[in-house]
Amino acid sequence: MTAFVRRRTWQGHGRRATLEKAAPSPIMTRRPRTQLRLVTTLLATAVLSACAEDKPLNTFEPRGPQAQMIDDLARPIWYIMAIVFVLVVGGGIALAIKGRVKPEDFDYDDLPRQVHGNEKLEIGWTIAPAVLLAIVCIPTVASIWKLEARNDAGELDVMVIGRQWWWEYRYDIDGDGFFEDADGDGEIWGVDGGGVDGQGDDGDRDDREWPLNLALDDDDLSVANELVIPTGVQVDLVITSGDVIHSFWIPRLNGKRDAVPGRLHTWNLEADEPGKYNGWCTEFCGLSHARMRMSTIALAPSDFETWLANQIEPAALPEAAAEDEEASPEAAGRVLFEQNCVSCHVVRTDGSDEIYGDDFTPPQLKSGAAPDLTHFATRSVFAGAIYSPYITDGAGNPVDADDDALDVATYLSLSENGRFNVAQLKRWISNAPGQKDMAPEDLRGMPAFPALNDEDLDNLVAYLATLD
């Protein structure tokens, strides 16, 4: 690269600027090459990263009508954006090339032709963007209204609650809404007007002003980490949070929706075919934000009914050993669980209509809840969906929490035929903060249990394997 230096010289009573050729600078010579290598590396990285075969968070692979609607809307907009990008950037480059001058010919007073006040141009570049935005706006607004459509009353509704750092899913199995008469005035919020979504005049809104864990309906089914839905059915969601702001996102089924404490946001999902669909919390929520994942399992309607019927049932607990008998590992694990874990976790043993009952006390955690473990062994993920309790399924296929290739045909038989991931479960129970960043000293997340020896851990895992 040739560099020039400016020198001021006197000519008569005035001063003029001249340019003299200077010696090439080695720094200026190397800089374009360095920049070219950097740009080439970045472009190559972007292209190669887009070539991955396993893309569980790929929004361009819709597997449900809502995601397909978003894809159908986004793709034409991408083409419009590409055209605008080429015209604007290409025009700028063309003007720069056309108007370039050599340094020795540069003149401060040599300005390009001015177009200020050209009415045709000004009207044109005002109307063109307005028309373009209108073309984009009309289908966008129409899609927003369609995405907000709710299912008919009495169909499947699920409340999604973000908690540091896992997701709780509450199924309104009796169709009476997600709240109960928290203030004792005889009216329940969200019943009279089908107010699952909080719209319209639907009863006593004071109930929702109570702390979330006190106002929630006791007889709703609570499931942790894994949302299970039937295929071909729109599942309406009510999304909120028990602690800080989170964001719920299953990209192949629908877009994002924030989970905000004290607010109820409506959303919906529908899967066209059975499968596993992964997601991720997309709002920074603390230490383990990057490890707060979500897993959605879509089952055929008949399989979903089988799954739901089993989840409603209380746990079949191992019987305690007689006084003169040695306890089985499962029974010993139950005793250890009741000594160390029940202050936070729930294992339902009561077959009454109320799943939790009036005497249920929420754990003293900032999130207000810990995962319900009643049917822990039926799930393919735990710990915020970052680990799997199984190594392989009944067909010998590996089960990976990060992978969306789960064979859903074997999902219902995981607890019978799957190979339990004993080593990972023992690591989690003994030192959960070492497996996932948490702050148990601040009542955020699960603490470590260093006092448990290896035999204790084996017994606890054996007990968890019975919770199917």
Q: What pLDDT tens digit does each residue of the chain (468 aa) get?
A: 444 444 444 444 444 444 444 455 554 455 667 777 887 888 777 777 666 666 677 888 889 999 999 999 999 898 888 998 998 899 888 888 887 777 777 777 777 777 677 788 888 888 988 998 888 899 999 999 998 888 876 678 899 999 988 999 999 887 777 776 655 665 555 543 444 444 444 445 555 555 566 667 677 888 999 999 999 999 999 999 988 999 999 999 999 999 998 888 999 999 999 999 999 999 999 889 999 999 999 999 999 999 999 998 888 888 876 666 777 888 889 989 988 888 888 888 875 444 454 555 666 777 778 898 999 999 999 999 999 999 988 777 888 877 777 788 888 888 888 889 999 999 999 999 999 988 888 888 888 999 999 999 999 999 999 998
Residue 390 counted as domain residue: yes
Give the C-alpha separation, 98 to 302, whole Å: 68
Rg of the chain in Å (alpha carbons): 31
Question: Tokens 């897993």, residue?
Answer: 295
Name the nearest CA neighbour of 147 among 254, 54, 238: 254
What is the 8-class DSSP label of residue 90?
H
Question: Which tokens is 168 given?
Answer: 């709780």
Residue 139 counted as domain residue: no
Residue 134 counted as domain residue: no
Question: Which tokens is 203 given?
Answer: 């009863």
Q: For the beta carbon of residue 159, count every other beta carbon within 10 angstroms.
A: 24
CATH number for the domain that contains residue 358 = 1.10.760
Give the C-alpha separation, 412 to 319, whole Å: 24
Name the nearest CA neighbour of 274 among 247, 303, 249: 303
Residue 68 counted as domain residue: no
Q: Let me know: does 51 contact 35? Beta carbons within 8 Å.
A: no
How many degrees, rounded to 5, is the angle at CA 164 between CA 159 and CA 166? 55
Taking every pair of C-alpha atoms in the chain, what is the biggest distance, in angstroms?
A: 119
pTM for the complete prediction? Answer: 0.80
Give the C-alpha separation, 183 to 190, whole Å: 14
Question: Tokens 């007889």, residue?
Answer: 219
Residue 337 counted as domain residue: yes
Residue 389 counted as domain residue: yes
Predicted pLDDT of residue 186: 59
Residue 151 counted as domain residue: no
Q: Is omega for the bond preceding 165 within 30 degrees of 0, making it cis?
A: yes
Q: How many domains does the chain have?
A: 2
Question: Domain span at residue 35?
Answer: 1-47
Residue 128 counted as domain residue: no
